[in-house]
């Protein structure tokens, strides 16, 4: 976690340093945000498509929450319209619920949520700018590892499908001064699903499940506009 935070800080510093022609400006074209982000996924099974591994009826799963640093970069096409993208990696585990409560399904998976949102900023008194946004997203899954229950049932490797979804966004930017510094609060609701594939030692697929992720992604941090 500390390494991720340091990397995000260095990245934000490098981006600002790379644009010496711009001074901080509360109405500038670019804005960089360094945020602490809570990622709260669901992980529920919505379809059991292949059950050669023998999961009992009523099996269910859930994914754990995580808090990570996030770097956001935003371009203002006009005072009211902007385009924003984010950069972060979030690590999760998947465990059993209901008929398989206490089971461990995935021990480790990294998610890269590639997201671009188009945002509309409202004009208010005092320079405070609430906004709404929407945009496409694709989750890339990296370094998936089976957990103890999965391996006990014969699963030796796992794979999650990269799939497209959509993100809805709402938040507010609060200026601290007229030099471009501010505070940002942001919430995104993703509508995203994936399929989990489990393979045995011979490479045969012994379990295929569809999962609803639909995470809430809640962020707060500092912003610099220039």
Answer yes or no: are the C-beta atoms of 19 and 226 closer than 8 Å: yes
**pLDDT at residue 24 in the model:** 83
d(CA 111, CA 165): 14
Burial of 21 (0-12, 13-18, 19+ CB in 10 A): exposed
Which residues of the chain have a pLDDT value below 50? 1-21
Geometric angle at alpha carbon 191, from 53 and 74, rounded to 5°: 130
Q: Looking at the DSSP assignment, which residues form a beta bridge with residue 188?
A: 169, 217
pTM of the model: 0.86
pLDDT per residue over 58-115, tens digit each? 999 999 999 999 999 999 999 999 999 999 999 999 999 999 999 999 999 999 999 9
**pLDDT at residue 23 in the model:** 66
> Backbone dihedral region of 203: left (phi > 0), alpha (psi from -120 to 50 degrees) or beta?
left
Domain count, the chain: 1
Answer yes or no: are the C-beta atoms of 52 and 207 closer than 8 Å: yes
Q: Which domain holds residue 164?
A: 2-225
CATH number where 115 lies: 2.40.160.20
Q: What is the CA radius of gyration of the chain?
A: 20
Q: Comparing C-alpha atoms, which of 140, 142, 137, 141 is closest to residue 190?
A: 137
**pLDDT at residue 13 in the model:** 42
């Amino acid at each position: 976690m500390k390494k991720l935070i340091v990397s995000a800080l260095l990245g934000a510093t490098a981006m600002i340093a790379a644009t010496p022609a711009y001074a901080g400006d509360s109405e500038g074209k670019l804005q960089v945000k360094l945020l602490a982000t809570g990622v709260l996924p669901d992980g529920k099974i919505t379809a059991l498509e292949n059950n050669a591994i023998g999961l009992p009826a009523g099996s269910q799963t859930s994914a754990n929450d995580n808090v990570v640093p996030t770097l956001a970069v935003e371009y203002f096409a006009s005072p009211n319209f902007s385009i924003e993208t984010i950069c972060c990696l979030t690590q999760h585990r998947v465990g059993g619920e209901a008929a398989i409560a206490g089971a461990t399904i995935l021990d480790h998976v990294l998610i890269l949520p590639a997201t671009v949102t188009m945002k509309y900023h409202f004009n208010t008194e005092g320079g405070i700018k609430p906004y709404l946004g929407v945009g496409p997203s694709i989750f890339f899954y990296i370094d998936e590892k089976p957990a103890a229950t999965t391996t006990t049932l014969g699963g030796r490797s796992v794979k999650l499908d990269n799939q497209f979804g959509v993100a809805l966004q709402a938040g507010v930017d609060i200026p601290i001064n007229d030099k471009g510094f501010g505070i940002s609060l942001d919430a995104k609701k993703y509508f995203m699903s994936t399929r989990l594939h489990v393979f045995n030692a011979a490479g045969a697929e012994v379990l295929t499940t569809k999962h609803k992720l639909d995470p809430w992604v809640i962020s707060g941090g500092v912003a610099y506009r220039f």
